[in-house]
Amino acid sequence: MTDVSPILTIIVPTFNRARYLDSLLEMLCGQMADFPYSFEVFVGDNASPDATPEVLEKYRERLPLRWHRHASNLGGGPNWHYLLTHARGRYIVYVADDDALLGAQLAQTVTVMEALPQAGVAYAPWKLFDLVQGEERGQFYRQGDDVLVEQGDYDKLLDTLLNHGIFPEIAVYRTEILRVVMPRVSEQAFYAFVHSAEFASHAQVLFLKDPFYVSITNYFADHRREQTGLSEAEHAWDRYRAGLEHVLGRALPQLTSQRRVEFLLRIQDLIASRISVAVRLRLHQQRDAVDTYYLAYRLKAMGAEQLLPVQLPVLATHAAVSFIATDEELNRGMSKLLCVGHFPAPLRQLVQERARLPVQFATTVAEHGDPDAQTLVFGLGDAVSREALPASFGGRLVLERDLMRKFVA
């Protein structure tokens, strides 16, 4: 049912998410019903063990659909690369198997690309939508007008990315340019920033203000899945920086020294904002408090502590409690955690929630009795000292003042 060379190829990498793929293909039947250009839907099945083949067969007569099933799971990046390489359309657009496209807006984007034959790629923001609640949740980045970056103008490219906080992840690619760009996903630098610079080396780069893509934040009421983008946002800030610095490196011959320094500061500002998002996400997901503290401390070094969603002293306290309660070496061979001193109720609750060992509280060591060799003692304030413990004490002692020098705010 596909043209030999359709105008547009919609590529869909998938693995083991037949239910989501079924929903996406059903939505495409509606969204693409009046699409004014010929198109194909090209699915890359990463050897899914579920009902993915049956779902694809279900839509064989309803969509211009073709698919390739890999012999084994190649991973997300290689599957994406394969689909890009083997797409037949004049243009290519990617859609995740758990997201959606807006047919009319996508058609308009293709129309713009047809009118600009020197443009190699058209980036656009994306809408956020809660499918369970049937509500829009905003839009990922906004720009007031369409922006056209001429081939080789890396100064304007970087300026545009930083001006609007653009993450160029959603795009319509001109296939002939994509073939020579050969985009690949790297672990060292955020692929989307790198790819935008690579496209700019071959063609014009277009940034559109109107979205054609929908990222679905909540899909099924009975199933919650971890979104790749949110997971990446928790730890990808250094790759973001590396990607932006790659664009800056290409722009250097066009820049004065002052302009270079200005760009470096603007990159740092954007990275600081992404780190603040990462901290917020980590707190929401209840990630390791020690790692969250070290991440948050980077904002202090950047002079951007005000961007933290929670004050640094609070994060330091949580990190300290998590360390005493879960550190493998401190807890190794211990049978209980004895907390000595006046523990406020919130701190007491935090220790109890985090501790791996049974927890006991005492105002003084004498109140508890001599701790044995399998007791980890945590002394708050001046409630206990090494000298005050019996000479026979063979357990471990951690004092608040030492711990808070480790996790200084």
Final residue of a structural domain among 218, 252, 276: 218
The answer to whether residue 126 sits within a structural domain is yes
393 and 268 fall within a common domain: no
Q: Read off the pLDDT of residues 54-78 as tens digits, 9 standing for 90 and up.
A: 999 999 999 999 999 999 999 998 9
Q: What is the CATH number of the domain that holds 183?
A: 3.90.550.10
13 and 162 fall within a common domain: yes
Final residue of a structural domain among 218, 243, 260: 218
Give me 265's structure tokens.
């500061």
pLDDT for the residue numbered 225: 59
380 and 354 fall within a common domain: yes
173 and 310 fall within a common domain: no
The answer to whether residue 223 sits within a structural domain is no
163 and 241 fall within a common domain: no
Boundaries of domain holding 84: 8-218
340 and 371 fall within a common domain: yes
Give me 198's structure tokens.
């690579």
310 and 394 fall within a common domain: no
pLDDT for the residue numbered 391: 74
pLDDT for the residue numbered 2: 47
Q: Read off the pLDDT of residues 211-262 as tens digits, 9 standing for 90 and up.
A: 999 999 888 887 765 666 667 888 898 999 999 999 999 999 999 999 999 9
| 112 — pLDDT class (breaks 50, 70, 90) | very high
| 1 — pLDDT class (breaks 50, 70, 90) | very low
286 and 387 fall within a common domain: no
Structural domains counted in the chain: 3
The answer to whether residue 1 sits within a structural domain is no
276 and 389 fall within a common domain: no
Strands 119-123 and 171-174: antiparallel
249 and 208 fall within a common domain: no
Strands 336-340 and 359-362: parallel
pLDDT for the residue numbered 372: 85
pLDDT for the residue numbered 228: 62
Contacts of 37 (CB under 8 A, 6+ apart): 6, 7, 8, 107, 110
The DSSP line for 29-81 is: HHHTTT-SS-EEEEEEE---SSSHHHHHHHTTTTS-EEEEE-SS---HHHHHH
Q: Read off the pLDDT of residues 10-22 as tens digits, 9 standing for 90 and up.
A: 999 999 999 999 9
Strands 204-207 and 126-130: unpaired
Q: Read off the pLDDT of residues 267-296 as tens digits, 9 standing for 90 and up.
A: 999 999 999 999 999 999 999 999 999 999
Give me 341's structure tokens.
């001193």
pTM exceeds 0.85, yes or no: yes
26 and 107 fall within a common domain: yes
198-210 per-residue burial string, b: 16 or more CB within 10 A, e: under 16: bbbebbbbbbbee
Q: 56, 43 in Cβ contact below 8 A?
A: yes
165 and 293 fall within a common domain: no
The answer to whether residue 2 sits within a structural domain is no
The answer to whether residue 356 sits within a structural domain is yes
Which own/partner contact pairs does 57-63 have at CB distance under 8 Å and 24+ positions apart? 58/22, 58/25, 59/25, 59/26, 59/29, 60/1, 61/1, 62/25, 62/29, 63/1, 63/25, 63/28, 63/29, 63/32
Strands 375-379 and 396-399: parallel
The answer to whether residue 321 sits within a structural domain is no
Q: Read off the pLDDT of residues 21-52 as tens digits, 9 standing for 90 and up.
A: 999 999 999 999 999 999 999 999 999 999 99
Mean per-residue pLDDT of the chain: 94
